[in-house]
Protein backbone atom coordinates (compact mmCIF):
# COMPACT_ATOMS: atom_id res chain seq x y z
CA UNK A 1 0.00 0.00 0.00
CA UNK A 2 1.30 3.41 -0.91
CA UNK A 3 1.56 6.01 1.80
CA UNK A 4 -1.96 7.14 2.56
CA UNK A 5 -0.64 10.57 3.51
CA UNK A 6 0.42 11.23 -0.07
CA UNK A 7 -2.94 10.11 -1.41
CA UNK A 8 -5.03 12.25 0.92
CA UNK A 9 -2.89 15.34 0.41
CA UNK A 10 -3.12 15.01 -3.37
CA UNK A 11 -6.87 14.37 -3.19
CA UNK A 12 -7.33 17.48 -1.08
CA UNK A 13 -5.37 19.50 -3.61
CA UNK A 14 -7.31 18.09 -6.59
CA UNK A 15 -10.62 18.94 -4.96
CA UNK A 16 -9.34 22.38 -3.97
CA UNK A 17 -10.12 21.88 -0.29
CA UNK A 18 -8.19 23.56 2.49
CA UNK A 19 -6.95 21.61 5.48
CA UNK A 20 -9.42 23.58 7.56
CA UNK A 21 -12.35 22.41 5.43
CA UNK A 22 -11.31 18.75 5.49
CA UNK A 23 -10.70 18.90 9.23
CA UNK A 24 -14.15 20.43 9.77
CA UNK A 25 -15.79 17.70 7.69
CA UNK A 26 -13.94 15.08 9.73
CA UNK A 27 -14.85 16.69 13.05
CA UNK A 28 -11.26 17.37 14.11
CA UNK A 29 -9.09 20.47 14.40
CA UNK A 30 -7.00 21.73 11.53
CA UNK A 31 -3.87 21.12 13.62
CA UNK A 32 -4.87 17.48 14.19
CA UNK A 33 -5.59 17.02 10.50
CA UNK A 34 -2.27 18.61 9.53
CA UNK A 35 -0.43 16.14 11.76
CA UNK A 36 -2.22 13.22 10.11
CA UNK A 37 -1.66 14.49 6.58
CA UNK A 38 2.04 15.07 7.25
CA UNK A 39 2.43 11.61 8.77
CA UNK A 40 3.26 12.78 12.29
CA UNK A 41 0.18 10.91 13.56
CA UNK A 42 -1.75 8.07 11.96
CA UNK A 43 -5.17 8.12 10.38
CA UNK A 44 -7.67 6.02 12.29
CA UNK A 45 -10.09 3.77 10.46
CA UNK A 46 -12.86 6.23 11.29
CA UNK A 47 -10.86 9.10 9.77
CA UNK A 48 -10.16 7.10 6.61
CA UNK A 49 -13.86 6.27 6.27
CA UNK A 50 -14.74 9.97 6.54
CA UNK A 51 -12.10 10.88 3.96
CA UNK A 52 -13.35 8.21 1.57
CA UNK A 53 -16.88 9.60 1.89
CA UNK A 54 -15.69 13.16 1.42
CA UNK A 55 -13.87 12.29 -1.81
CA UNK A 56 -16.60 9.90 -3.00
CA UNK A 57 -14.53 6.73 -2.89
CA UNK A 58 -15.00 3.50 -1.04
CA UNK A 59 -12.64 2.84 1.82
CA UNK A 60 -11.14 -0.04 -0.16
CA UNK A 61 -10.48 2.21 -3.17
CA UNK A 62 -8.84 4.83 -0.97
CA UNK A 63 -6.44 2.44 0.70
CA UNK A 64 -5.77 -0.10 -2.04
CA UNK A 65 -5.73 1.73 -5.37
CA UNK A 66 -2.32 2.94 -6.53
CA UNK A 67 -2.02 6.70 -6.05
CA UNK A 68 -1.91 7.36 -9.79
CA UNK A 69 -5.16 5.49 -10.47
CA UNK A 70 -6.89 7.07 -7.48
CA UNK A 71 -5.88 10.56 -8.57
CA UNK A 72 -6.98 9.98 -12.17
CA UNK A 73 -10.39 8.90 -10.88
CA UNK A 74 -10.53 11.96 -8.62
CA UNK A 75 -9.79 14.28 -11.53
CA UNK A 76 -12.55 12.63 -13.56
CA UNK A 77 -14.94 13.04 -10.61
CA UNK A 78 -14.16 16.74 -10.27
CA UNK A 79 -14.61 17.22 -14.01
CA UNK A 80 -18.09 15.64 -13.78
CA UNK A 81 -19.00 17.81 -10.81
CA UNK A 82 -17.93 20.95 -12.66
CA UNK A 83 -19.91 20.09 -15.81
81: pLDDT strictly greater than 60: yes
Closest C-alpha among 49, 60, 59 to residue 25:
49
Share of the chain above pLDDT 90, in %: 89
74: burial class by Cβ within 10 Å (0-12, 13-18, 19+)? buried
Superfamily of domain 4-82: lambda repressor-like DNA-binding domains (1.10.260.40)
0.95 cut: is pTM over it?
no
- Kindly report, residue by residue over 7-43, the tens digit of the pLDDT: 999 999 999 999 999 999 999 999 999 999 999 999 9
The residue extents of the domains of the chain are 4-82
76: pLDDT strictly greater than 70: yes
Cβ neighbours around 45 below 10 Å, total: 9
Residue 14 in contact with residue 71, Cβ under 8 Å? Answer: yes
Confidence tier at 77 by pLDDT (50, 70, 90): confident
Amino acid sequence: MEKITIKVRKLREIYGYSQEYVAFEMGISQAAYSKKESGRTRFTLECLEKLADLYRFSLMELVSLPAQELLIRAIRNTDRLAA
